[in-house]
Copies of this chain bind each other. A is one copy, B any other.
């Protein structure tokens, strides 16, 4: 039997639908981030500016974070050497879990090798331990949450995105059975922020448990980087907070924080936790250093938000179709898979700017976009070059510009922040 043809056909389908992914090999350099080396298909190396990293705060490049990794690797070795139960519980991971529990003001935390696994493990285990549980899951939830819901034996209802009325309607209908609300604080492809306080209040009123994914928010929001829930002052109203160590904290891994009994149950029952090698101590130490740093350095968050505001403002002023939101994610809509890929290719080839196209199934068809993520390391020069490049690409590909919002420029702070008149002219 010729099995190969099935795999070839599967890949061919993606190519014909223009959603075949080509990975771009990038060599980051701590000395120059976000400028990094792209290994071109012809084998040559070219400097590019990364504008799509999820190392949102550049903590993966922070000297103290790197030093923690280096010091721990040199002292304890490269790997953990086993599962958490079988020789893999390092002092570094114990400390990291303590630090994360403290970050979210919870009794305990549990670290996984990825955010994907933490959602799969935690959602399915929690739901399965609650008899006759009903899961209410936001329709825009990340794939890993959907997989967690799907893996559990619990019944589920999909809730319209951030729709409080729909949440309430389903909570009422559910009656007094155990109910688990599963949602994100910040949806990564749109930058939408959930009404966390309102959802927490509904959960309380109707006796539901709450499980929130804060992977795109931890480190970046709240007085100590506890995320959107800290910022909204509802950390204690949410039962389980899930986060990642691979974005705001610049390393690798995922985690949950919550009541000690719940954490102990997930620790004891989730096979994807039990049967997997622990994070290397060096990775745990790097993440721990980043968590600690961000607890006490609000200025990193402030610099980040400033870079985001300047970027959004400059792009809008240039007439680029930024999808507005209140977060640090800057989606620029293209609305066509092929043009989105072409725009990305042209940015890389012609302008040395690296922004991956976001196509179906990550976003809906017709909602294709460039997803821009400014970091505190992106200077005004980087932002200027970005706007200039995008305007050129938009013009070259004949993509539609929009009318800059009317209030742009009269907003005092924004006007001060944005000063790219030549770019504005080019766009008009």
* Interface, chain A (partner B; CB < 8 A): 1, 3-4, 6-8, 10-11, 14, 20-21, 23-30, 33, 39, 50, 52-55, 59-62, 65-66, 69-70, 73-87, 89-91, 94, 113-117, 120, 129-131, 142-144, 147, 151, 176, 178, 207-209, 239, 244, 246-247, 250-252, 259, 261-262, 264-265, 267-269, 271-272, 274-277, 279-283, 286-287, 290, 354, 356, 358, 371
Contact = CB atoms under 8 A, between A and B. Distances in A.
Contacts of A29: 75-76
Given A77-B28, A117-B117, A268-B21, A261 B4 contact: yes
Contacts of A209: 3
Given A7-B261, A85-B23, A259-B4, A75 B114 contact: no
Contacts of A80: 60, 246, 252
Contacts of A280: 60, 251-252, 283
A84 to B, nearest CB: 6
A162 to B, nearest CB: 21
A359 B391 CA distance: 63
Contacts of A131: 6
Contact of A82 (B52, B116, B287): B52
A115 B62 CA distance: 29
B272 A116 contact: yes
B79 A33 contact: no
Contacts of A94: 25, 39
Contacts of A113: 113-114, 116-117, 252
A86 to B, nearest CB: 5
Contact of A78 (B142, B250, B277): B250
A189 to B, nearest CB: 11
List the 3 closest A-B pairs by CB distance, nearest first: A246-B277, A55-B81, A60-B79
